[in-house]
Structure 1
Amino acid sequence: MSNKPIGIKDVAGAAGVSVTTVSHVLNDVSYARISSKTRDKVKHAAEALGYDPNRLAQALRTQRSGMLGFISEEIATTPHAGRIILGAEETARRRGYHLMIINTSSKATDESRKADIAALLKGQVDGVLYATMYHRRLALPDNLNGVPAILVDSEDTNQSISSVIPDEAGGATAAVMTLIDAGHQRIGMINNTDDVPATHSRLQAFKDTISDAGLTFHTDLVEAEHSEVPGGYEAALRLLTRKDRPTAIFCYNDRMAMGTYRAASELGLNIPEDLSVVGFDNQELIAENLYPALTTVSLPHYEMGAWAAENLIDAIEGKTDLALMALHPTILDCPLVRRDSVAAPAR
């Protein structure tokens, strides 16, 4: 297939009319005597061929293609994190840009990442968004150097690329405070075992919030497992079979909270009467459909995608300096979503 740009002659040939007729139709020349049937034929031919005279003229004038590259580490196949793409896409479209998306794996090799970036650059994108499924730190290939780029839900280990991340600590603080405000003093935490920023930030915020409230932090009330439903179940069983079990549990994510619900049910504990539970992530398919519905913290997926697209386009158009923004990641709020899984302690 030819990579030659579609021109006005191609539209004229497809519609079976002259170049002048195409020009008059697409420029909406009022005095041109052209039938409505011919006008429709020209417009349909232009649309079918993907001919956009306005975009072509803009590209020639600005040396920009109007395309943003978007590398998705699995978020394109993850329902809740996929809102990052939606936020970026809607923002880009509003600004007159479009996304060119490549979906890859979080376990992709450096060579694979370099090839993905090269493919986008070959497509003449004006800039690149690189989004990960969960908050982590990574080093990107050197072929991204000199290209306007922003990391989404991740941080550059070299602090050379701008990034936007969720406020892990703020979200965890809000989660624990809602339990403290409900009257709980003996609060457990089920944490993740992976060495990622969220694991450390959420645990530190848990400790600080407990201490700042004048309560005693008990190291034995913190359990860690793989951050899926079975891990939450196993960790919850260990906490809830203690003689001095906690009256509330803050879970690393909603999947672990689901496991906690299962453990509580098997032990004859009712939520929230006997045990209050708060999650993290606001995975709506889980949080809204647990019974009772789960109080949790929302990750700002849509907002991160929108922020990244907005600021990348500003940089492309010379309205902001990404190098200055790279020194510190931009942190977006993680709001608490109140549902029905928190109540005052029964004992």
Structure 2
Amino acid sequence: MNVSEVRTAMARVRMSDVAAAAGVSTATVSLVLSGAGGERISAQTQAKVREAAEAIGYAPNSVARSLRTQKTRMIGLLSDTIATTPFAGRMLAGANDAAREHGHLMVLVDTDGDLAQERQAIEALTGQRVDAMIYARMWHQVVDAPTGLAEGSVFLDCRPADGGWPAVVPDDRDGGVAATRELVAAGHRRIAYLDAPAGSGVVASELRHQGYLQVLAEAGITPDPALHVRAETDAGGGRAAAGALLDLPAEVRPTALFCFNDRMAMGAYTAAHRRGLRIPQDLSVVGYDDQQLIAAELDPPLTTLALPHYEMGRWAMEVALGKRQADPAEPYRMRCPVIRRDSVGPPPPQRASR
């Protein structure tokens, strides 16, 4: 049967049909299938009713069930552009997997960042009586919590400016620490940070820079402002920023680059290759994001940090479902693991001790 035929067949099967098939009253069927049979109805009769319901394809009315339980078993996920971009789709996969495992349906609405659409979407989800909402953003942001969110809602890859809601974000400061430690551990002292533009409002930019500075201090390395370069966070920006650094005199040129994201790292590869520099023999590079079709495909494959998109999506859904506890006063910061590939090595021998 096609979908229409299945729906038609299911619509014809009533509770009275189950009662007739099991040889019991409709009231008995109602009690058994609602889970209220308890000790009033024998285990044998309850088993007979359930077998009959399964045999004839009875499906309980979800609307009636929601009126009884005050639960629709639906969770609304409201995002800006996650569903229409390739970068963060695993957040949706993580949230959807968790919802399905616990018998819930995830309803996705993508507003493309339009506030008017966002208000309409919240009203629509509220009208559908979703049990909770997940408010998600494409990348780590501090946001003003919209009005009308359902009780028990969760923020995903963003955190409300005034707190008060459970939230999960990547631990970008710790990520900056981990990335810089990879390079220090390899013996590098002249480490540059290719950062996002000033005033861009990118929360991760400052957090990763804080982690970078922390590790330099731990290693006794005096930060050189000339090695903190800001540019657009795409391949062109990375190429320009890395090119300016690699054109410095050899004695002050960085031997390693920590790039804000993998696209900037891709541009840095181009800048290095154009100057006859080999990675990692002459220059080590660490990226961020573990972006599909970039990090593992570069030559050599890029050492980077993975944004835990799937895990954050699962966490948010589990909190929304009440399967996990969260502190609404403090966002949960999820670790970004290092993905080690082939772009990090020791500095060139003549530069190792400088």
TM-score class, shorter: 0.7 to 0.9
Question: Which residue is equivalent to 1:249?
Answer: 257
The answer to whether structure 1 residue 20 and structure 2 residue 16 are counterparts is yes
1:201–1:21 distance in 2 versus 1, CA, 3 Å: same
Shift of residue 116, structure 1, vs aligned partner? 1.3
Q: State how far apart, in whole Å, the 2-side matches of 1:13 and 1:328 are.
A: 47
**TM, length-normalised to structure 2:** 0.82
Of 174, 186, 190, which residue of structure 1 is paired with 2:190?
A: 186
The alignment's C-alpha RMSD in Å is 2.6
CA separation of 1:31/1:175 partners in 2, compared to 1, >3 Å: closer, same or farther?
Answer: closer
Residue in 2 aligned with 1:283? Answer: 291
Residue in structure 2 matching 1:339, options 335, 338, 341? 341
Describe the superposition over 1:260-317 as per-residue Cα deviations: whole angstroms up to 9, x where unpaired: 01111111111111100000111131101001000000111111111111111118xx
Distance 1:218 1:33, change over 3 A: closer
Aligned to 1:59: 66
Q: Could you say which residue in structure 1 is the equivalent of 2:164?
A: 160
Equivalence for 1:70: 77
Please, which runs of 5 or more residues in structure 2 have no aligned partner?
A: 1-7, 23-28, 34-45
Do the aligned partners of residues 182 and 29 (structure 1) sit closer, same or farther apart at CA in structure 2, a change above 3 Å counting? Answer: closer
Identity of aligned residues (%): 37
Q: 1:22 Cα shift?
A: 4.6
Corresponding residue of 1:326: 328
TM-score for the superposition, normalised by structure 1: 0.84
Question: Could you say if the C-alpha distance between residues 105 and 56 of structure 1 is closer, same or farther in structure 2, counting changes exceeding 3 Å?
Answer: closer
Q: Which residue of 1 aligns with 2:103?
A: 96
CA contact (8 A) 1:12 1:19 kept: no
1:176 to 172, 175, 180: 180
Residue deviations 1:79-120 (CA, integer Å, cap 9, x gap) = 3311111111111111111100001223x22x3321111111
Alignment check: 8 A CA contact 1:11 1:22 kept: no
Q: What SS does structure 2 have at the residue aligned with 1:64? A: coil
Q: Structure 2: how far apart are the matches of 1:115 and 1:331?
A: 30
Is 1:237 aligned to residue 233 of structure 2?
no
Q: Which amino acid counterpart does residue 187 of structure 1 have in structure 2? A: I
CA distance in 2, matches of 1:235, 1:90: 40
Going from structure 1 to structure 2, the CA distance change for 1:310 and 1:13 (only over 3 Å counts) comes to closer
Give the 4+ runs in structure 1 shifted more than 2 A.
Answer: 10-15, 18-34, 55-62, 77-80
Is 1:138–2:143 an aligned residue pair?
yes
Counterpart code for 2:223: F
Secondary structure class of the residue paired with 1:88: helix
Partner secondary structure for residue 341 of structure 1 = coil
In structure 2, relative to structure 1, the CA distance for the partners of 1:29 and 1:258 (3 Å cut) is same
1:74 Cα offset (Å): 1.1
CA contact (8 A) 2:18 2:49 kept: no
CA distance in 2 between counterparts of 1:56 and 1:188 reads 59
Q: What is the match of residue 317 of structure 2?
A: 309
| 1:46-67 deviation line (CA, Å, top 9, x unaligned) | 6xxxx445x5675344210000
CA contact (8 A) 1:254 1:283 kept: yes
Q: Which amino acid aligns with 1:213?
A: A
Distance 1:78 1:227 in 2: 16
Q: CA deviation at 1:340?
A: 0.4
Instruction: Tell me the residue number matched to 2:94.
Output: 87
Distance 1:82 1:216, change over 3 A: same
Specify the alignment match of 2:153 in structure 1: 149
Residues 205-284 of structure 1 correspond to what in structure 2 (within 5 A)?
205-243=211-249, 244-284=252-292
Query: Which residue is 1:114 aligned to?
Result: 119
> 2:81 touches 2:112 (CA, 8 Å); kept in 1?
yes
1:204 maps to: 210
